[in-house]
Structure 1
Amino acid sequence: MLTKSDFHYELPPQLIAHEPLDSRRASRLMVVHEHGVKHRQFPDVLEYLQPNDLVVLNDTKVLKARIRAAKDSGGNAEILIERVVSEHEALCQVRVSKALRPARELRIRDRVITVCSREGDFYRLRFDSPVLEFLEEFGAVPLPPYIRRHVLDSDEERYQTVYAQHPGSVAAPTAGLHFDHALLDAIVAKGVQIARLTLHVGAGTFLPVREEELSKHVMHLERYEIPQHTAQRLHNRSGRVVAVGTTVVRTLETWAETGELAGESELFITPGFKFQVVDALITNFHLPESTLLMLVSAFRGRERMFAAYREAVKMGYRFFSYGDAMYMERDGV
């Protein structure tokens, strides 16, 4: 039985990418194959795509989801949106010195956010204007906690894919950050199809796995939607399905299990999982003991994946959201 500790590895802190490279496509690409790895540059991913493949993108858009407010008692409150649940309400993580009770107010200038209730790890908050408008005016880009610097103006562009369309995420689907319009055009010119779906990444993606036994871990919910035209392309495909990012994997494999084109995914993918849709995966390097590392280990095999990670550390690859990428195919594909 695999445990959380089976997915631990040592990462020198200097390999965490705190800044994006000057160009989206300047990242390195590690290709994981049956006999080891190859070291390439990200535009070389085009060589591994074949005519009639279907590349699937997650077109969620990152919200300015981090807000600094003041409690009605005068103390500070840091709010991170988990998900927008209605025009004026959102589930949020709130960092305060003492737990908040219903009806308490948080303020930014003359604007008011009211505590409605506590729901597990989150608070339901009501905003005095539409949430998306409020965030656009007062919010900041929610960089991951391992990026330890202030948010820069450039993050509004670079912590967002070039094809982002539907607002709702509090973290970027980072595998997509490597693509620019020219590379997407080159993929289409090769005879590869591109399709889109939407999964809104929640703040729960940063929550650690607390249980040592993986069977006891409760996966966070994330909302997804697969457009009908994407479903038709998936049904009619003659080539492989290439997922750009773990969010696409979770969405497509949730659809395969439930048959639902829209809903909430709580799929927890660990070694032994039987993939039904995804044949190849483009992804970044993930945190130790994270559910994302468990997913890629399920996709390509834990031992092979950890050998690749050891090689990445040795070769000085850049890790996490603004870091380098991997390409891999399932065995037998």
Structure 2
Amino acid sequence: MNVDLFDFDLPQSRIALRPATPRDAARMLVVEGAAMHDRVVSDLPTALRRGDLLVFNDTRVIPAQLEGTRGGAKIGATLHKREGPRRWRAFVRNARRLRDGDAIDFGAGTTATASDRAEDGSFALDFAGDEPVELLLERCGRMPLPPYIASKRPTDARDVDDYQTMFADEPGAVAAPTAALHFTPGLIAALDAAGIGHTTLTLHVGAGTFLPVKAEDTDDHRMHAEWGRIDAVTADRINATRAAGGRVIAVGTTSLRLIESAVGQAGVVHPFEGDTAIFITPGTRIRGIDGLMTNFHLPRSTLFMLVSALMGLDVMQKAYAHAIETGYRFYSYGDASLLLPAKG
């Protein structure tokens, strides 16, 4: 499909620079089939049904944004994907000043050697020393806010908490599964009381999620791989929910992508552990979930293509036009949508 089909104009004023307070006070556009309703996230217990199951991503964002030097050159690095105990793939700023074998000093006693430059311009970084890389990053790294926020204001102390979900448990992501940022312990208690369950999986979101689609046709775009895991308990819970007539609602495109990587032709979700580079566009049959809660995404992005695959491009174009017109806040710190496709 032509990537231009997924373009739209978004006023800069619609880009949220801070999350709603409290988190579950964010607005929520409910799209059921082709119908739309304006609600708030705290309405979720009444927007869903008893017996439904929410699936969250429990990845934890690490301080993956690094600033360093190689000789007199300033080098910036955004870690993307772990490739070994001490090796990370990273997108590098000022990469023309870097060669295989060069050592980068990130300060605070942290150095890494660059190697294995890839076609996308990324390097493998091997961190020196014996300390766990996670400890090194805590000393020298900072929270990797998305470019559309970082270009407008610096990262600060609030982001350390704001850009982490209440489910964050497994360190390894360089971007938050932002749909889950809207949840609070009080909202989860209200969902539990309404008979709506929840479970978790893990997908370590990479920096590739922010890369623009440069191809003119979706067939020519290649996704970056991300590591994920669905254990047997979670897979069984998903399958049991659907067998009992409940709906499986993925919270975030990351949860949806991993479930779709693990589902078979018959709609049964299997345990999964490994890399996925699944790319979901209109025409892709979605088998493992019955709905999606997600934020509002960038134009021409793989995520807007994904929601268009779930709901239909025409429906999502109308939903986004409504959201822009009525003042919804977009992107990682923005408002939410609950997408429930028509059955048929």
- TM-score, normalised via structure 2 length: 0.93
Tell me by how many angstroms 1:153 deviates.
0.3
Which residue in the other structure is 1:222 paired with? 226
Which residue in the other structure is 1:84 paired with? 82
Matched, 1:103 2:101: yes
Q: Distance in 2 between matches of 1:314 and 1:116?
A: 48
Which residue in the other structure is 1:118 paired with? 117
Tell me by how many angstroms 1:208 deviates.
0.9
Tell me by how many angstroms 1:100 deviates.
1.8
Which residue in the other structure is 1:70 paired with? 69
Which residue in the other structure is 2:55 paired with? 56
Which residue in the other structure is 2:307 paired with? 296
Letter in 1 for 2:135: E
Contact preservation (8 Å) 2:282, 2:310: yes
SS at 1:254's partner residue? helix
Contact preservation (8 Å) 2:73, 2:97: no
Identity %: 40
How do residues 1-333 of structure 1 correspond to structure 2 at under 5 angstroms? 2-71=1-70, 73-96=71-94, 98-109=96-107, 110-121=109-120, 122-129=122-129, 130-147=132-149, 148-237=152-241, 238=244, 239-257=246-264, 259=270, 261-332=272-343
Tell me by how many angstroms 1:47 deviates.
0.9
Contact preservation (8 Å) 1:90, 1:131: no
- Residues 257 and 266 of structure 1, relative CA distance in 2, 3 Å threshold: farther
Tell me by how many angstroms 1:176 deviates.
0.3
- Residues 97 and 247 of structure 1, relative CA distance in 2, 3 Å threshold: closer
Alpha-carbon RMSD: 1.4
Q: Distance in 1 between matches of 2:271 and 2:118?
A: 26
Contact preservation (8 Å) 1:244, 1:282: yes
CA displacement, residues 4-55 of structure 1 (integer Å, 9 cap, x when unaligned):
0000000000100011222111210111123431111111121122121111
Letter in 2 for 1:84: R
Letter in 2 for 1:227: D
Deviates more, 1:192-201 or 1:112-121: 112-121
Letter in 2 for 1:135: L
Tell me by how many angstroms 1:111 deviates.
3.2
- Residues 11 and 167 of structure 1, relative CA distance in 2, 3 Å threshold: same
SS at 1:306's partner residue? helix
SS at 2:147's partner residue? coil
Q: Distance in 2 between matches of 1:302 and 1:48?
A: 23
SS at 2:117's partner residue? strand
Q: Distance in 1 between matches of 2:28 and 2:171?
A: 28
Letter in 2 for 1:263: G
In the alignment, structure 1 segments of 5+ residues that lack a partner are: none
SS at 1:113's partner residue? strand
Q: Distance in 1 between matches of 2:100 and 2:33?
A: 56
Q: Distance in 2 between matches of 1:185 and 1:128?
A: 45
In the alignment, structure 2 segments of 5+ residues that lack a partner are: none
Runs in 1 of length 4+ with deviation above 3 angstroms?
Answer: 257-260
SS at 1:146's partner residue? helix
Deviates more, 1:50-59 or 1:319-328: 50-59
SS at 1:160's partner residue? coil
- Residues 266 and 257 of structure 1, relative CA distance in 2, 3 Å threshold: farther
CA displacement, residues 149-172 of structure 1 (integer Å, 9 cap, x when unaligned):
100101010101011000111100
Contact preservation (8 Å) 1:84, 1:131: no
Deviates more, 1:252-261 or 1:8-17: 252-261
Tell me by how many angstroms 1:227 deviates.
1.5
Letter in 1 for 2:104: L
Tell me by how many angstroms 1:232 deviates.
1.2
Tell me by how many angstroms 1:260 deviates.
5.4
